[in-house]
Amino acid sequence: MSARDQVPAPTAQDEADKHDLRIHRAMQRALPVMHAGLKQFIAGFCHHDGDAEMVIYLKGSAEPVRPCDITILEQPT
């Protein structure tokens, strides 16, 4: 058995990083996201100094949204 066989379990930070990458991809590919039961699109996002997570802005809304409040609707490829 080698060191390659042992894969550590993903941490909460790993899962948050994967979600951030999905958010980047959703914005770049204009993929829809679900927020408050509505299908919307990401207009932009930014990281503020000192914040642990980014702030997302959806098209047609001036209110910032936390990343954990949206669901990315992945399109089959």
pLDDT score at 4: 72
Average pLDDT, the chain: 84
Domain containing 56 equals 32-77
**Which pLDDT band, with edges at 50, 70 and 90, does 3 fall under?**
low
63, two tokens: 């209110």
Q: How many CA atoms lie within 13 A of 73 on its CB side?
A: 12
Q: Total domain count for the chain?
A: 1
Examine residue 65 and state whether it is found in any structural domain, yes or no: yes
Examine residue 75 and state whether it is found in any structural domain, yes or no: yes
